[in-house]
């Protein structure tokens, strides 16, 4: 895996809330922070990293290009603006946030612009987000599988998306799981609660450990220090084969994020 297995997500966190979350996470030992242009918090994330005292080279920063900037004459300028907000000369990973089939911009054009951003040194690695198998295959044809660090997709015990995850692994592309806790819905699941009790863990740790064991990167978010610290401990939790089999049975195609006009036809 050429991206960190564990990071902090910042979706829905704004203003002082996101500053506090990032600062606390860095204090606790997080070293990967995930943001996006559409989150409207890149400047606050940049401020928190700059003020943290953690050297920039020790923090892996991911941002995502919004669909409004998909055209070749817009992507690089938009990423330069992201760098300005993030107070850095280069991010570690830049993703196309959504394939946006209705945007009017050919995906090949956006992918080429993303590759150009990498060639210009604005980002160390590139990847995609919310791409199905067909669109990932197209991305591989344009960029080469080796150039695609990750496909960041919704994955949780309730949405296991095994066909896509299996395809990504077959191509050497790391799946990054977002919404791993399904907006908190899985935290009350009786199966996860029972597994957690067996291991002296929390349901959140179980869900995150499930994703990690499957070879996914995870980016859970929280505003509470105790939850940030607890989530980090999921890396030490070792689920056994019986635990994993019980979680497989929780699949319900429980997709939480499916924006019209942005999302592809899911596998």
> Whole-angstrom Cα distance, residue 109 to residue 13?
31
Q: For tokens 């919704």, name the residue.
A: 154
CA dist list (Å): 252 to 87, 130, 160: 41, 19, 8
For 66, the 3-state DSSP assignment is: coil
Of 31, 36, 26, 24, give the one whose Cα is nearest residue 6: 31
> What are the CA-CA distances from residue 101 to residues 135, 147, 168, 259 (Å)?
10, 22, 21, 12
Burial of 55 (0-12, 13-18, 19+ CB in 10 A): exposed
Helix 203-213 × helix 225-232 angle, to 10°:
40
Dihedral (Cα; 217, 179, 31, 196), 10-degree rounding:
-80
**Is 97 labelled a binding residue?**
yes
Cβ–Cβ < 8 Å for 237, 170 = no
User: Which 8-state DSSP code applies to residue 173?
Assistant: P
Q: Are 262 and 98 in contact (CB under 8 A)?
A: yes
d(CA 210, CA 244) in angstroms, rounded, equals 7
Residue ranges at the known binding site: 97
Residue ranges at the known binding site for substrate: 97
């Amino acid at each position: 895996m050429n991206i960190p297995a564990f990071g902090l997500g910042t979706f829905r966190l704004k203003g002082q809330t996101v500053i506090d979350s990032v600062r606390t996470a860095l204090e606790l030992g997080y070293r990967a922070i995930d943001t996006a242009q559409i989150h409207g918090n890149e400047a606050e994330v940049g401020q928190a990293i700059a003020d943290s005292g953690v050297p920039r080279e020790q923090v892996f920063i991911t941002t995502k290009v919004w669909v409004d900037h998909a055209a070749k004459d817009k992507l690089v300028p938009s990423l330069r603006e992201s760098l300005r907000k993030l107070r850095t000369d280069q991010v570690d990973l830049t993703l196309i946030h959504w394939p946006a089939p209705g945007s009017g911009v050919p995906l090949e054009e956006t992918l080429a612009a993303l590759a150009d951003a990498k060639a210009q040194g604005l980002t160390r690695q590139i990847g995609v987000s919310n791409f199905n198998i067909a669109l990932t295959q197209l991305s591989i044809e344009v960029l080469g599988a080796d150039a695609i660090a990750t496909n960041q997709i919704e994955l949780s015990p309730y949405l296991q998306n095994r066909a896509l995850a299996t395809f990504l692994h077959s191509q050497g592309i790391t799946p990054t799981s977002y919404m791993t806790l399904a907006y908190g819905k899985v935290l009350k699941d009786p199966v996860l609660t029972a597994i957690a009790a067996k291991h002296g863990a929390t349901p959140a740790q179980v869900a995150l450990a499930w994703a990690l064991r499957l070879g996914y990167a995870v980016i859970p978010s929280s505003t509470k220090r105790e939850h940030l610290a607890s989530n980090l401990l999921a890396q030490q939790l070792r689920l056994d084969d019986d635990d994993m089999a019980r979680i497989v049975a929780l699949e319900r195609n429980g997709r939480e994020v499916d924006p019209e006009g942005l999302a592809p036809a899911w596998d």
